[in-house]
Amino acid sequence: MTTIALPSYEDATSRYETVIGLETHVELGTQTKMFCGCKTDFGAEPNTQVCPVCLALPGALPAMNGAAIEATIRIGLALNCDIAEWCRMARKNYFYPDMPKNFQTSQYDEPLCVDGHVDVVVDGKEYRIGIERVHIEEDTGKTLHVGGATGRIHGATESLVDYNRAGIPLVEIVTKPVPGLGELAPEVAKAYVAELRDIIRSLGVSDVRMEQGSLRCDVNTSLNKPGEEWGTRTETKNVNSLRSVERAVRSEVIRQAGVLDGGGKITQETRHFHEDRGDTSPGRSKETATDYRYFPEPDLVPIAPDPAWVAQLKSELPEKPSTKRARLREEWGISELDMQSVANAGAVELIEETIAAGASPAGARKWWMGELARRANELGIELSAAGATPAQVAALQKLVDEGKLNDKLARTVLEGVVAGEGDPAEVMAARGLEVVNDTGALTAAVDEAIAANPDIADKIRDGKVAAAGALVGAVMKTTRGQADAKTVRELILARLGVS
């Protein structure tokens, strides 16, 4: 295999224009599946949340979940879409064991919601992402390929299927093609998915957790030379984190530029994103829409939402996340740039809840944007999954405010909290981490430090107060970091008669 020389990302975007499009699937958080009363709990034993309908046993008939229809309409309204006055479900026929019916009940040319938009801000500039359609369908079962070394189907001898997920309501949100983003395409794509996630979370219709697959994203990318028609697009699947959205677009731009530079053509295909390598590899060649032989679902009657009901749902939409961010930014007294970082880190609600649990805005922000954001980044997980709850962070900050923990000890306590050792107070007790406030013990340690460093003590007595740092260090060492540095410093100066 010949290796094509790949250009740098900057080089690629200086010579090619990008067009991106995003298809996002959101698993709704309804109690039951789309067409039957089976539960939708995550992580249940395989094939324990299944029934004749979702297993497609002969004679079983679907019954539509009204709550899923309402949730889809609310998503459509929050994305500024028009809601169809009348539309139908459709059968998408394909033969693969992830759907026992041999078709997926979806929508085709009559989506429930059409023609909306989402505005996102990147580097202080606003971009409008058009929404082509929002439709309702059902999720597929989970297949596990066994017999091969890689866990993928290549080399596998058989597949094991769990239908617990089959039939869970799934909302598909498709953007219009987005041209003209230049080198910012990856960042805008990421910002769009983050905004979409925040909007849907604010509606309370899904937990939108990428790491659990309740929000999944496919990224379409194409390149063209300036002034020329849009190029052939590829569809990248398996993009399972916000960071991956950005990386997937970037790597596909570089790859396609390399192919085009070499005089090659882009094949319209599905590609798989590899989290570990940060690039994509070709997947199955896509069946065309006619191959799916869509037709109106005869077992489900049309959906015709009452306009008065839709108007009521619209009037009851929650505050838009962007409006809320502007309001919180005022309340927290931080810059727009800082607020954007908070939003991009998925920390708005977490900080809000931490403040509600009693922490100051600065204290709450410090932990979520510091230690916890760092951890989430390193592990490539969502901040909400970093291992601490808002209540725990608020409790930690309270211990700091009360002087029971200094900054360094608080970090250690937080490590214990995320390691699952319990609430901050429990970790503190179990690990014996408390600031030494016993003045007698501290004074003894201070006197010891002074006695051991007579030269430094003399300097301080002569007015060189800055030298106290060395003695503070010595005391911190004997107290194993469990003293408050400020108190120690005051104590040293007092003992040496210079305060």
Partner 1 sequence: MAAISREEVAHLARLSRLAVTEEELDRFAGQLDVILQSVARVGEVAAEDIPPTSHSVPLTNVYREDVPAPSLAQDAALSGAPDAYEGRFRVPRILDEED
Q: Residue 303 Cβ, how far from partner 1 at the closest point, in Å?
A: 7
Angle value at C-alpha 427, between 426 and 429, nearest 5 degrees: 65
Cβ 1 vs Cβ 12: under 8 Å? no
* Four-point Cα dihedral 14, 16, 21, 24, nearest 10: -60
Sign of CA dihedral 491, 492, 496, 499: negative
Q: Residue 184 Cβ, how far from partner 1 at the closest point, in Å?
A: 31
Nearer to partner 1, 43 or 66 (CB): 66
Q: Residue 289 Cβ, how far from partner 1 at the closest point, in Å?
A: 13
Q: Which residue has the tokens 């008065």?
A: 308
Nearer to partner 1, 296 or 387 (CB): 296
Cβ 249 vs Cβ 257: under 8 Å? no
Q: Residue 438 Cβ, how far from partner 1 at the closest point, in Å?
A: 57
d(CA 273, CA 240): 9
Q: Residue 103 Cβ, how far from partner 1 at the closest point, in Å?
A: 11
CA-wise closest residue to 32 among 69, 76, 5, 2: 69
Q: Residue 336 Cβ, how far from partner 1 at the closest point, in Å?
A: 40
DSSP letter for each residue of 176-201: PPEE--GGGHHHHHHHHHHHHHHHHH
DSSP secondary-structure letter at 3?
P
Q: List interacting residues with partner 1 (CB under 8 A).
A: 30-32, 36-39, 45-52, 55, 57, 63-69, 86, 88, 93-97, 102, 144-145, 147, 152-154, 156-163, 272, 281-284, 287, 291, 293, 296, 298, 300-305
Angle value at C-alpha 396, between 390 and 397, nearest 5 degrees: 90
Nearer to partner 1, 305 or 363 (CB): 305
Nearer to partner 1, 88 or 216 (CB): 88
Query: How far, in Å, are 168, 173, 244, 292 from residue 181 at the CA level?
Result: 35, 20, 18, 33
Q: Residue 58 Cβ, how far from partner 1 at the closest point, in Å?
A: 10
Nearer to partner 1, 162 or 382 (CB): 162
Tell me how long the chain is: 499
Q: Residue 305 Cβ, how far from partner 1 at the closest point, in Å?
A: 8
Cβ 55 vs Cβ 100: under 8 Å? yes
DSSP secondary-structure letter at 289?
G
Cβ 22 vs Cβ 192: under 8 Å? yes
d(CA 30, CA 465): 65
Q: Which residue has the tokens 């029971």?
A: 404
Could you give the 3-state DSSP secondary structure of residue 384?
helix
Nearer to partner 1, 168 or 399 (CB): 168
d(CA 446, CA 476): 10
Cβ 63 vs Cβ 301: under 8 Å? no
DSSP secondary-structure letter at 211?
G
d(CA 345, CA 390): 15
Q: Residue 104 Cβ, how far from partner 1 at the closest point, in Å?
A: 14
Structure tokens at 51: 């029934």
Could you give the 3-state DSSP secondary structure of residue 282?
strand
Q: Residue 247 Cβ, how far from partner 1 at the closest point, in Å?
A: 20
Q: Classify residue 171 as left (phi > 0), alpha (psi -120 to 50) or beta.
A: beta
Q: Residue 12 Cβ, how far from partner 1 at the closest point, in Å?
A: 25
Q: Residue 246 Cβ, how far from partner 1 at the closest point, in Å?
A: 24
Cβ 153 vs Cβ 38: under 8 Å? no
Cβ 95 vs Cβ 44: under 8 Å? no
Q: Residue 69 Cβ, how far from partner 1 at the closest point, in Å?
A: 7
Q: Which residue has the tokens 């030298």?
A: 467
